[in-house]
């Protein structure tokens, strides 16, 4: 059994991931976060503020001596220009460095499709990354620092660029969770953009399956798009969600301008993730 550590395990993606990983016989799952209210009690949970403890000499031992680390922990991911993205970047680096120096040889880190900036169209992993906010600057810089540190080291390093997850929509802090909240409050309309921008939406369970496939093999590493490969307009996505859930609230389109760094259309090239899924098929 491989000892696999998941950071940010109590978050939206992390909680779904550890709950599913715990069903696999070849992983010994170790979940860590500050709280564990979203995690199945059968999962081995170790409470830890990993950024505060990132330089502790005994951190690796306290976290169960993981062979694999899936690093999902990140603050203020929905607030792209928070100062915290810059302030905490060195702590994330020292945390991963600490694990690797102590023997962890397989690192998978959550990146974002937003690293591609305002690129348009179908985007493969070799497309240039362009910082457009504190968040994307920090993510791009984090990957660059790790690339430099892992050079000439026997480390499997996978950088997972997540496109837009949905599902379990009360928990995902997206526009969908806000719509559900506003519906409960009795709002009839909510101000919105024109909704014509197109994104790649991936269901949380499909995303979790892709993450598990990625860390179940080491042949394919580097940046990897975690995506559906299908562009859908935000307007259609929101309208479908409202109809599917029988909601009464309606979007008031065109009230907000789109953010200047949002692309017109962006979706992931699935070539690399499909190769990985084929390698791990049936495992």
pLDDT at residue 282, as a whole number: 61
Residues catalogued as catalytic: 135
pLDDT at residue 108, as a whole number: 98
Angle between helices 204-215 and 12-21 (to 10 degrees): 60
Task: Please give the model's pTM, rounded to 2 decimal places.
Answer: 0.95
pLDDT at residue 114, as a whole number: 96
For 254-265, letters b (16+ CB in 10 Å) and e give: eeeeeeeeebeb
pLDDT at residue 283, as a whole number: 58
Q: How many CB atoms lie within 10 A of CB 37?
A: 7
User: What is the C-alpha separation between 40 and 45, in angstroms, rounded?
Assistant: 9
Give the Cα-Cα-Cα angle 140, 227, 144 (nearest 5 degrees): 15
Both tokens of 120, joined, read: 């348009």
As to burial, measured by CB atoms within 10 angstroms (0-12 exposed, 13-18 middle, 19+ buried), residue 195 is middle
pLDDT at residue 258, as a whole number: 82
pLDDT at residue 8, as a whole number: 97
Residue ranges in the chain whose pLDDT is less than 70: 282-283
pLDDT at residue 262, as a whole number: 84
């Amino acid at each position: 059994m491989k000892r696999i550590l998941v950071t940010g395990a109590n978050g939206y993606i992390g909680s779904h991931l550890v709950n599913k990983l715990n069903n696999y016989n070849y992983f010994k799952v170790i979940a860590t976060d500050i709280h564990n209210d979203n995690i199945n009690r059968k999962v081995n949970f170790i409470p830890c503020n990993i950024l505060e403890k990132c330089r502790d000499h005994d951190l690796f031992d306290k976290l169960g001596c993981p062979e694999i680390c899936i690093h999902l922990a990140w603050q203020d991911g929905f607030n792209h220009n928070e100062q915290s993205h810059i302030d905490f970047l060195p702590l994330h680096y020292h945390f991963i460095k600490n694990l690797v120096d102590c023997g962890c040889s397989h690192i998978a880190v959550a990146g974002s499709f937003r690293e591609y900036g305002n690129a348009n169209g179908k985007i493969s992993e070799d497309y240039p990354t362009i910082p457009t906010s504190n968040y994307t600057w920090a993510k791009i810089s984090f990957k660059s620092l790790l690339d430099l540190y892992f050079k000439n080291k026997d480390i499997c390093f996978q950088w997972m660029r997540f496109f837009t997850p949905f599902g379990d929509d009360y928990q995902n802090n997206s526009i969908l969770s806000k719509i559900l909240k506003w519906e409960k409050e009795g709002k009839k309309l909510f101000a919105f953009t024109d909704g014509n921008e197109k994104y790649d939406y991936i269901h949380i369970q499909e995303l979790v399956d892709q993450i598990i496939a990625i860390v179940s093999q080491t042949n394919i590493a580097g940046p990897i798009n975690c995506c559906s490969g299908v562009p859908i307009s935000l307007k259609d996505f929101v309208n479908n969600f409202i109809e599917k859930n029988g909601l009464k609230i309606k979007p008031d389109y065109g009230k907000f301008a789109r953010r200047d760094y949002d692309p017109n259309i962006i979706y992931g090239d699935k070539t690399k993730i499909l190769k990985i899924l084929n390698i791990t098929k049936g495992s």
